[in-house]
Amino acid sequence: MVDIPNEDLPSLATGTLNFSLEWLQSNIFSNIPTAQVKYIAVGNEVFLKDPFYTPYVVRAMMNLYQALQMLNLVTSIKLSSPQAASVLSLSYPPSSAAFDPYLHSVMIPLMKFLHDTGSPFMSSNIIIFIYLIKIKYKIINNKEHISLDYALFRNQNVAQDGGFLYANLFDASVDAFVYAMEREGFQGIKIVVSETGWATGGGEAASVANAMAYTDNVVRRVANYVGTPRQPNEEMEVYLFDLFDENEKNGEEFTSNIFIGYSHNYMVIYEFNYLR
């Protein structure tokens, strides 16, 4: 997956087809063989974190799609634009999920593009964020308790949502997007988890032990080649976040500690048990 910076979206949205072709060639394909590029992420979490660029997302994707058509690459390289889990106003239980109504005017054109071009919906499922938000704001009622073990794939029980059973928060968070898209009339769009991870420190439930447990367990989950309860026949595709910590990142301390092994000065913080 290759990401296009948010600040490049206006020029790609308003430029000519030749501009998009030249941008792809000079910024991506001159550095990476086309056979090694599966996805191009057009911006990252724009709608909520960088809303200035919101009007340019789908227009940039359309221009880039035309450029990929010219290069005969639309079958092998797909375009999407990763979205934070917070674009959902409701997410638990998954069957109740819905997009934030204030974002409908931008989410609908995005989903239409993805549906029409056979491209995946990319979601950022940073499970520690989802877990802490639900605990902090008490979104879950007394009958629906989300435990730390449920978030770390260690729960012995399952949560029932209609006819589906959920053994972990990760599966539930992915299916929430499936339900939200179906609620808007878009079925069959594949979900690609463009980011997932757990913090090694800096806040509640953030520790090296929990980060190691989450990373190992999510890798094991994906390696089973089984989909979610809502999409059991759709193999999961997941990208881990991040290789290194982000020691200069602003915000709450734990947000700079979501990474999969190395500190900014190349010290090994933890290793994958799964890969040993």
- What is the set of active-site residues? 45, 195
If you write DSSP's letter for every residue of the chain in order, what string do you get? -EEE-GGGHHHHHHS-HHHHHHHHIIIIITTS-GGG--EEEESSSHHHH-GGGGGGHHHHHHHHHHHHHHTT-TTT-EEE--EEGGGEEE-SSGGG-EE-GGGHHHHHHHHHHHHHHTPPEEEE--HHHHHHHHHHTT-S-TTS---HHHHTT--SS-EEETTEEESSHHHHHHHHHHHHHHHTT--SPPEEEEEE--BSSSSTT--HHHHHHHHHHHHHHHHTT---SSSTTS--EEEE--SB--TT--SSGGGGGB-SSB-TT--B----STT-
